[in-house]
Amino acid sequence: MPSGVVTSAREATDSTRDRVARSILENGPSTAAALAERLALTPAAVRRHLDQLLDDGAVEQREPRAYGARGRGRPAKMFALTAAGRDAFDQQYDDLAADALRFLAETGGDDAVLAFARRRVASLEVEFAELTERQPELDPAEVLALVLTRHGYAASVRQAPAGAQLCQQHCPVSHVAHEFPQLCEAETEVISRVLGRHVQRLATIAHGDGVCTTCIPRPISAIPDENGASS
């Protein structure tokens, strides 16, 4: 077989494998069946790529969480990205960014780093306002998730008993944020400001969690009173 054909086939395989990994990154832990449906691939093809990603240490198998009574049969395995798998999607300039922030901290102190972090995420507020104006039918948290996704955070909103949770499956600055938490602090400030309420970070990728999770409480006006009506 000509070498060019072999190279093209290998590139196509690598591209599909990258799509599988990216789908897990953007959607969180997934079953092989869900990946196959999402990517319009056969289950057998997805399993081949998952096997290779497992061998490479890019993904790991997890037991699915049980909600309520389990049905018959063994539940399908979930596949999640490992730290090494996430590394493949992180920017190649992490070392340069960390060195620059170390220099800033040495010359200007922690306040200078925080000022930089706040300036870095300032554009999120502008984009949030613009998208809210264009799509007023969207919930503010959903608007924010779309804006964050544009910036590489693969964000989504999940409803929770106390309100909602903003889940970021990826953090493009996680390695740097591990050393400089001001980046996370500034980001949390923006989330709170654009949503108009105090939010709480429950987990961050920068500190070893699988997902950055932010609790967004319901507005006071949406909390039912003793008679079950919203105030």
Query: How many angstroms separate the Cα of 10 from the Cα of each of 17, 18, 30, 56, 57?
Result: 11, 12, 25, 16, 19
Between CA 192 and CA 120 the distance in angstroms is 16
Q: Name the DSSP letter for residue 61.
A: E
Question: What is the topology classification, in CATH, of domain 3-65+75-87?
Answer: Arc Repressor Mutant, subunit A (1.10.10)
Between CA 104 and CA 116 the distance in angstroms is 9
**Mind listing the pLDDT tens digit for each residue in 38-50?**
999 999 999 999 9
**CB 164 within 8 Å of CB 216:** yes
Determine the average pLDDT of the residues in 139-159: 93
State yes or no: pLDDT of 27 exceeds 50. yes
Between CA 163 and CA 158 the distance in angstroms is 9
**Mind listing the pLDDT tens digit for each residue in 165-195?**
999 988 888 889 999 999 999 999 999 999 9
**Mind listing the pLDDT tens digit for each residue in 45-81?**
999 999 999 999 999 998 876 545 555 556 788 999 8
Q: Give the CATH number of domain 94-222.
A: 3.30.1380
- Tell which residue, 129, 110, 133, 132, has the closest CA to residue 186: 110
Residue extents of the structural domains in the chain: 3-65+75-87, 94-222
Determine the average pLDDT of the residues in 193-203: 94
